[in-house]
Structure 1
Amino acid sequence: MISSQDGSETRLQAGRGYRNMLHCILTIYRKETVMGFFKGMSFPLASITVYNSAVFGFFSNTQRLISQYRYGDGRHPCGMLDLTVASMLTGLMSVGIGAPVDLVKIRLQMQTQTVLAENLQLAGNASNGTNIRLRSVDVPSPSLYRGPIHCVSSILQTEGLQGLYRGAGAMILRDVPGYTLYFIPYTIFCNLLKPDATSSPHPCSIWLAGGLAGSISWVTATPADVVKSRMQADAQLQRKYRGILHCIIHSYKTEGIRVFFCGASVNAIRGFPMSATMFLTYELSLQFFRSL
């Protein structure tokens, strides 16, 4: 599940100082104009076609292999257990492609997030023994990356190849159940919306089933998505989280249980048209190639 988050949702999940989504949107617009909402989107947009092709292709081929192994016929319809296994394997595979893309997007979106800096001010001449006063102020973080390619290059130089997979563990926790709750509800809704068991679903039914499945998947994946976003944004200036569990505990202690549902409503709304379009395109493409 490559996240198509705009800058506001990423910063709401991984940033600081935003009271809610509206406050986050207004802050970004005031400080960075409308372009602030599109920071870091060029890389995901350029790769999303390849990513979705790989995901849906892997899912279809996995179903075929399971059917061939279990029933001796690759065209045999998969049962729910078969679909669950295929969905989980698809989620696991997707992390290998999606983790670096999400990381670059989040680093580019977060590099203008204000950070809390410790500003030392001398209340007099230090040599005369006067006290030094420590004051915290918000200062803009420097722009570390000039673009996606420079971001990838910088991460490889400073953190190595493993740096591109920062937060991959949290992404597995998001995508393995996330894709299960993506393909299974889609199949169930398609079956419910078919006029009979032998007929193919109507394009409108495919569109509706895909949209509902997308909303369900993204809402349930939001807590893991919050953790993933924070882990990936963490290494920007100074590492804050030692691991997934530490990130969860620290986030809960400092911001409460609500932090894990930041952006859930946006995910539900955005997930519907995005997933509806993808599933409809996928099914129509399959029908076209099978008719050749």
Structure 2
Amino acid sequence: MSEPAPLPFALQFVAGAAAGISEILVMYPLDVVKTRMQLQLSNVAAHERYNGVVDTFQKIIKKEGASRLYKGITSPILMEAPKRATKFACNDEFQKIYKRAFGVEKLTQPLSVLSGASAGLVESLVVVPFELVKIRLQDRNTSFKGPAHVVKHICKEEGMLAMYNGLESTMWRHGMWNAGYFGIIFQIRSLLPAAQNKSQKTRNDLIAGMLGGTFGSFLSTPFDVVKSRIQNTAVVAGQLRKYNWTLPSVLIIFREEGFKALYKGFIPKVLRLGPGGGILLVVFTEVSDLLRKVAV
């Protein structure tokens, strides 16, 4: 099958939004589990401790009800459209920019990694406030009733700028995840047999997206753990926060809790973003193809 014609930025944005919302509706409970595991400190009582994905699911459902697995989903849904749209649209735009800058006609894997990382940095600017609200709502000890309650409290008690608490760690997370995701997609697509029909194309996209999501999760999880800790720590005037900047926070967690703590929540993250990465790529490609036909 020949390479499809590039879509205008606005249509890429629409396709990315559709892909993001599809993924979050299917995979969100795993994100709640991931966040709970990342926020858990080593001094938690044994009967309260989350011991793996299944145990976390069971304890949340038993103690808080199944609906708790969708606590805070409003914020991610509001975020997913601009987040995923920015991811895919900016990735495509950066690919064009870097191909012109380096004087090449075809995309290479290094340029794919560079484009993905660049898109991730832009994406982080969009998602930080939404992620902050989501983290505060997903905490097991939260007293917030909904996204509006969180925003009102933060703006009143911590200041407007606190809505961008964790920006630097989010840039690390999204830069690394997107670099791994799009870099692996490029490599896997080049290794798989060329698609001769639509079903084979969907299969290739699903495989490439799942492997890309898995590798991106491996690269980004330490920064994700740090981001969750930073964003769940309130900004108090005159008080130095334990978790503030990314690399010092990585060292604190490593020193106090060990290397494994940097990969807390890795399994639910992979279970979500492995298949989720496949869903993202398949839906984005399908919607892009549909919009390409409509736009012609």
The answer to whether TM tops 0.5 is yes
Deviation at 1:246, TM superposition (A): 4.1
1:31 partnered with 2:63: yes
Q: Which residue of 2 aligns with 1:103?
A: 132
Q: Which residue of 1 aligns with 2:84?
A: 52
Which one-letter code corresponds to 1:175 in the other structure? H
**Alignment counterpart, residue 51 of structure 2, candidates 20, 26, 42:** 20
Query: Take 2:100 and 2:245, find their aligned partners in 1: how far apart are those partners?
Result: 40
Find the structure with the greater CA-based Rg. 1
Deviation at 1:242, TM superposition (A): 4.4
Deviation at 1:69, TM superposition (A): 4.0
In structure 2, relative to structure 1, the CA distance for the partners of 1:63 and 1:243 (3 Å cut) is closer
Q: Which residue of 1 aligns with 2:9?
A: none
Query: Take 1:191 and 1:32, find their aligned partners in 2: how far apart are those partners?
Result: 46
Q: Is the 2:223–2:246 contact (alpha carbons within 8 Å) kept by the matching residues of 1?
A: no
Q: Which has the larger helix fraction?
A: 2
Q: How does 1:1-292 map to 2 (within 5 A)?
A: 4=28, 5-16=30-41, 17=44, 18-21=49-52, 22-71=54-103, 76-110=105-139, 112-113=140-141, 143=143, 145-195=144-194, 202-235=201-234, 239-291=241-293, 292=296
Deviation at 1:23, TM superposition (A): 4.1
Deviation at 1:180, TM superposition (A): 0.6
- Count of aligned residue pairs for this structure pair: 258
Please state whether the residue corresponding to 1:271 is helix, strand or coil: helix
Deviation at 1:268, TM superposition (A): 1.8
Which one-letter code corresponds to 1:104 in the other structure? V
Deviation at 1:245, TM superposition (A): 4.0
Query: Take 1:185 and 1:89, find their aligned partners in 2: how far apart are those partners?
Result: 16
In structure 2, relative to structure 1, the CA distance for the partners of 1:191 and 1:245 (3 Å cut) is closer
Question: Which of 1 and 2 has higher RCO (CA within 8 Å, sep 6+)?
Answer: 2
Deviation at 1:71, TM superposition (A): 3.6
Q: Which residue of 2 aligns with 1:120?
A: none
Q: Is the 1:210–1:276 contact (alpha carbons within 8 Å) kept by the matching residues of 2?
A: yes
In structure 2, relative to structure 1, the CA distance for the partners of 1:156 and 1:181 (3 Å cut) is same
Seq. identity, %: 25
Deviation at 1:89, TM superposition (A): 0.9
Query: Take 1:99 and 1:91, find their aligned partners in 2: how far apart are those partners?
Result: 12
Deviation per residue, 1:182-217 (Å, 9 max, x gap): 101001111111338x99972211111111111111
Q: Extract unaligned runs of 5+ from structure 2.
A: 1-19
In structure 2, relative to structure 1, the CA distance for the partners of 1:150 and 1:190 (3 Å cut) is same
User: What is the aligned-residue RMSD (CA, Å)?
Assistant: 2.8
